[in-house]
């Protein structure tokens, strides 16, 4: 389906039904930051004379190869979610052919108290009947259930997408007049309800709520979130609890050692407000991406036997990107966590980041001073400073220049970058993959060993949707070797940009109306 038609249909469905949802039904961490590759910068520079795509013997499994290892109970459970059952068809019975689809794919979010219940509460069979025409619209446009990953991706746990036969079954039922052979008040029971952390050990709030300046459209604010673990500990699951979700664009937590406490305390309140301004990263010393959230995400529950390690006295600085288009209400967003004692023997998870350039010139029918790339870059620097404008840095690492993108004058642009996993310290079994762009993103894809016999597409998102940024968890074990090469690709469409914005060359910077292209990879030792 044509991208613009798809977006218009999505918007129409949202206006008619109120189904635009923030913060519902996803998983794990999103990051709006590029600083995690700082340590790899020198290694990248040394490698610039080498070809970025190298031929390797990949440890990525052949999709058709049999696995020698005996499957565990968890493996069987995961595969049962991803392997399609017998094709379904409408057999004239709501109870046998239609109700199971809604219980498996819809009611998990739209039940009483669920994250989508505010927009559509799917409690009974009559609720389905009353909205059957709207349902047919949102499933044929893929607006609902939200699952941006396309068919070229590997199989993922918890795939919410409807198969073609499920869609057709629902459409046939609608065409038949939406009859039901159950009582109107028969419950539509969710097969796997989406719930928050039931009994978190910690709920960490900032020292003070933060109210920004509504005149600063994109405000990046850091505050200390202290888990108070003097002996260290393991975080095995967490959930971000946005307070003012209308203005909270994303949140990213950086882990810092106890030695940074004094410096953090000195920065806290330095401008008369809680916390401190921080574009790019935490604004402090050595820090690693640790926690995160973006729209569309559920609580993060790490695989059994794994966790994120907090060293003794370690603390978290959370950077929240506030995007204001009017009021700037005081925000008191929090993190809930489940924590294990430090002496528990767990395997440490590692989060690494891959990236590609973002350079989107003005279209041929656009004009203005900011259509000059140098002027646009200077404007971004004035808004965010050097830490918040990574365009030139990523161009250098990916060995391209702005001139390589200047021919994209028809309103669309794309980029790619191929990086050996060793360059950013990524190896081991992939636990989850998250791809990130901003609001004019059109599509994105992440591939291992592209163009070789060992090529494997990890995640392909053919139609990007900022509201649904999942961490995708592969069903099958995919082991990333240090010699494997990761290719990240992104595409943009300027027609998706707000019409009231001044024409400008769009590049990699921290504003919502700027752009990014990166992916977070969570791995465990193979």
CB 225 within 8 A of CB 318: yes
pLDDT at residue number 4: 34
pLDDT at residue number 360: 98
pLDDT at residue number 44: 43
pLDDT at residue number 71: 42
pLDDT at residue number 296: 64
Which fold does the domain 202-344 belong to in CATH? Answer: Jelly Rolls (2.60.120)
* Pure H helices in 153-198: 164-175
Domain boundaries, the chain: 3-11+85-175, 31-60+351-524, 202-344
With vertex at residue 503, the alpha carbon angle to CA 212 and CA 11, rounded to the nearest 5 degrees, is 70
E-strand stretches of 130-232: 202-204, 218-225
Q: Which of 441, 339, 433, 519 is nearest to 60 (CA)?
A: 433
DSSP assignment of 399-438 equals: T--GGGGTT--SSEEEEEEEEEGGGGT--EEEEEEEEE--
CB 318 within 8 A of CB 207: no
Ranges of the chain with pLDDT below 70: 1-85, 113-115, 117-118, 193-195, 280, 286, 295-296, 526
Q: Which of 379, 489, 361 is nearest to 437 (CA)?
A: 489
pLDDT at residue number 142: 81
pLDDT at residue number 107: 81
Dihedral-angle region of residue 412 (phi above 0 means left; psi in -120 to 50 means alpha; beta otherwise): beta
With vertex at residue 299, the alpha carbon angle to CA 297 and CA 303, rounded to the nearest 5 degrees, is 115
CB 517 within 8 A of CB 23: no
């Amino acid at each position: 389906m044509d991208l613009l038609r798809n977006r218009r249909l999505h918007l129409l469905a949202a206006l008619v039904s109120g189904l635009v949802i923030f913060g519902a039904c996803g998983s794990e961490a999103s990051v709006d930051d590029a600083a995690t590759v700082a340590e790899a910068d020198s290694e990248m520079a040394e490698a610039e004379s080498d070809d970025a795509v190298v031929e390797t013997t990949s440890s990525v499994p052949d999709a058709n190869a049999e696995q020698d290892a005996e499957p565990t109970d968890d493996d069987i459970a995961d595969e049962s979610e991803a392997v399609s059952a017998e094709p379904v068809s409408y057999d004239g019975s709501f109870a046998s052919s239609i109700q199971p689809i809604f219980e498996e794919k819809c009611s998990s979010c739209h039940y009483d108290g669920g994250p989508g219940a505010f927009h559509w509460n799917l409690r009974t069979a009559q609720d389905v009947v009353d909205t059957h025409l709207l349902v047919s619209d949102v499933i044929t446009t893929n607006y609902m259930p939200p699952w941006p990953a396309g068919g070229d991706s590997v199989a993922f746990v918890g795939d919410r997408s409807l198969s073609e036969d499920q869609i057709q079954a629902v459409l046939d039922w609608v065409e038949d007049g939406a009859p039901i052979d159950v009582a109107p008040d028969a419950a539509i029971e969710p097969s796997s309800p989406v719930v928050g952390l039931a009994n978190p050990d910690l709920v960490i709030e900032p020292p003070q709520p933060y109210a920004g300046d509504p005149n600063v459209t994109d405000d990046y604010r850091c505050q200390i979130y202290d888990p108070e673990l003097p002996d260290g500990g393991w975080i095995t699951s967490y959930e971000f609890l946005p307070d003012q979700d209308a203005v909270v664009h994303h949140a990213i937590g950086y882990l810092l050692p106890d030695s940074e406490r004094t410096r953090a305390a000195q920065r806290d309140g330095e401008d008369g407000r809680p916390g401190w301004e921080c574009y790019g990263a935490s604004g402090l010393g050595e820090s690693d991406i640790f926690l995160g959230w973006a729209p569309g995400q559920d609580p993060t529950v790490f695989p059994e036997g794994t966790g994120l390690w907090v060293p003794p006295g370690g603390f978290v600085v959370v950077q929240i990107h506030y995007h204001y288009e009017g009021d700037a209400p005081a925000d008191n967003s929090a993190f809930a966590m489940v924590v294990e004692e430090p002496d528990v023997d767990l395997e440490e998870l590692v989060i690494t980041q891959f990236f590609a350039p973002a350079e989107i010139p003005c279209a041929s029918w656009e004009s203005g001073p900011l259509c000059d790339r140098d002027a646009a870059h200077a404007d971004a620097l004035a808004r965010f400073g050097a830490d918040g404008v990574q365009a030139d840095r990523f161009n250098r690492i990916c060995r391209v220049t702005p001139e390589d993108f200047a021919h994209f004058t028809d309103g669309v642009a794309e980029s790619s970058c191929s990086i050996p996993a060793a360059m950013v310290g990524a190896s081991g079994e992939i636990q989850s993959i998250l791809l990130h762009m901003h609001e004019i993103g059109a599509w994105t894809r992440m591939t291992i060993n592209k163009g070789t016999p060992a090529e494997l597409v990890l995640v392909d998102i053919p139609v990007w949707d900022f509201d649904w940024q999942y961490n995708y968890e592969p069903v099958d074990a995919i082991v990333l070797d240090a010699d494997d090469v990761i290719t990240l690709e992104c595409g943009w469409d300027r027609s998706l940009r707000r019409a009231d914005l001044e024409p400008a060359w769009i590049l990699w910077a921290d504003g919502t109306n700027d752009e990014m292209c990166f992916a977070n990879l969570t791995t465990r030792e193979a």
